[in-house]
Amino acid sequence: MFLFAFLIFQSCVITTHSVKEIETSELSSPVVKSEYTSFKFSSPIKVQKTKDWFRNYFDLKRNDDLVNFKTSFLENSDHEFIVTVFDYSDKEKYMDFTGLLFGGDVENRESDLMFFVGITVTDKTGVDHLAENSIFQKPLLEELTEIREEFRNFTENNPDQKFF
C-alpha cells in the first residue's frame, strides 16, 4: 500500500525544463556555425565570484572583460590564443499535480539555481582550437582540465572566496 501511494505521488511531478548535469567537464559542439566549441563545467559559486577568479587566474585587471582576451595559454608555445570565459546559470522546473488529488491546484516548482562555466579557445584567424580537427585540442583540454581543478580546489578551500 505504501509503495502504491509513493508511486502515485512520484508520478504527479513532471519536469518541464531539465538542466544537464556536468559531473566533471564536457566539450560542447557549436549549435550554429558562427559559434565555437566550448569546454564546460559546473561551478559551486555564483557568477560574479567565478568571473573574479578567472580574471585573477589570467592576471587580468579587475574591470577587464573575459571576452576575447589574448594569452599564450600553453607552455613552450609562442602561439597566441584568444580565450573567452563565460558563465551561465539554469534551474530545473517542475509541475506538481499532487494538489489535484486533494482538491488543490497544480503547483509550479523550481530547483535551486545551478551555475556553469564555459571556455572557448580560438586564435586571431578564428580557428576553433577545441574542435576535433585542431592540433592544439589535446594540450588545451589538458590545460583546461587543470584550470578546472584549480578553480574547484580554490573554491572548496576558500569559502569566503575573496580574489582581489
What pLDDT was estimated at residue 101? 58
Where does residue 150 fall: left (phi above 0), alpha (psi -120 to 50 degrees), or beta otherwise? alpha
For 46, phi then psi, to 5°, come to: -70, 165
Residue for grid cell 588545451: 140
Tell me the angle at which helices 47-57 and 137-157 cross, rounded to the nearest 10 degrees: 120
H or E segment to which residue 53 belongs: helix 47-57
Higher local confidence (pLDDT), 138 or 75:
138
Domain extents in the chain: 30-157
Q: What is the DSSP letter of 27?
A: E
The predicted model gives 142-152 an average pLDDT of 94
The predicted model gives 90-95 an average pLDDT of 80
Give the span between the Cα atoms of 135 and 143, in whole angstroms: 14
Res. 8 pLDDT band, cuts 50 70 90:
very low
**Residue of 87, 84, 90, 89 whose CA lies nearest to 50:** 87
Res. 124 pLDDT band, cuts 50 70 90:
very high
Structure-derived torsion over alpha carbons of residues 26, 64, 69, 21, reported in degrees to the nearest 10: 10
H or E segment to which residue 39 belongs: strand 38-43
In the predicted structure, residue 153 carries a pLDDT above the cut 80: yes
Q: What is the DSSP letter of 159?
A: T
Of the chain, the percentage scoring pLDDT greater than 90 comes to 35
What pLDDT was estimated at residue 102? 60
* Cell matching residue 158: 576558500
pLDDT tens across 18-70, in order?
677 778 888 988 888 889 999 999 888 777 788 888 998 998 986 668 999 99
